[in-house]
Chain A
Amino acid sequence: SQTIHQWPATLVQPVGSPLSLECTVEGTSNPNLYWYRQAAGRGLQLLFYSVGIGQISSEVPQNLSASRPQDRQFILSSKKLLLSDSGFYLCALDHGQPYEKLFFGSGTQLSVL
């Protein structure tokens, strides 16, 4: 069965520091991959999605970027974190039609101080 690995589960970073969050998928191939952010009391916000290696679509212009160097690896990065980057970051996957049957990882809680 498919599994999404996200680490770390919790991260505290100072403002202005870089960020790298990794999402690794097992048990499936050629997935669509997504990065979502969930702020406290708000709905999930789609940040990036990818339908294949090297193919990234950005939904929200900001200081974050994403890369997909391998079929089952999706990385979220920032060169300089802002306070507003705090939130719960979720990696998700599905197959075929985008957003059809999203399967989520366990997330990373990021606090920028």
Chain B
Amino acid sequence: KNQVEQSPQSLIILEGKNCTLQCNYTVSPFSNLRWYKQDTGRGPVSLTIMTFSENTKSNGRYTATLDADTKQSSLHITASQLSDSASYICVVSARDSNYQLIWGAGTKLIIKP
């Protein structure tokens, strides 16, 4: 069964600190992996998208990594800011099923001043 699991469920860190969020997936055949940021009460916004051949991609202070062999991805946030408080969702696209997206439940990140 195609699944995306994220850890931790929630995380609290102090402003200015770094953090890493984890994503494990069992989706096959794999097409691409995305990370979205979702502010409370808003729709998700795309941060990064990586295909099988890419093992790292950055978007400002956000850096995503992908290990297609172990089916793991991580999202690293550097020098966190209060505006980084949000849910971060890992999404994997399957090459069959019309490239449908399998969504993780997200990690809720809270940045404290």
Contact = CB atoms under 8 A, between A and B. Distances in A.
Interface of A: 4, 9, 41-46, 59, 90, 92, 97-99, 101-102, 104-107, 109
Interface stretch (B53-61, B72-80, B96-104): B96-104
B50 to A, nearest CB: 14
Contacts, number: 46
Nearest to B49: A101
Interface in B5-27: 9
A97 B95 CA distance: 12
B33 to A, nearest CB: 13
Interface in B63-113: 89, 93, 98-106
Interface residues of B, number: 19
Interface of B: 4, 9, 41-46, 89, 93, 98-106
Q: Which 5 A-B pairs have the closest CB atoms?
A: A104-B43, A43-B103, A44-B103, A43-B105, A90-B43
B101 A99 contact: yes
Contacts of B101: 44, 46, 99, 102
Contact of B43 (A41, A42, A59, A107): A107
A99 B43 contact: no
Given A41-B105, A43-B4, A44-B103, A105 B43 contact: yes
Contact of A104 (B9, B45, B104): B45
A104 B44 CA distance: 6
B42 A107 contact: yes
24 contacts: A4-B43, A9-B41, A41-B9, A42-B105, A43-B4, A43-B103, A44-B101, A44-B103, A45-B103, A46-B100, A46-B101, A97-B99, A98-B98, A99-B98, A99-B101, A101-B46, A102-B44, A102-B46, A102-B101, A104-B43, A105-B43, A106-B41, A107-B41, A107-B43
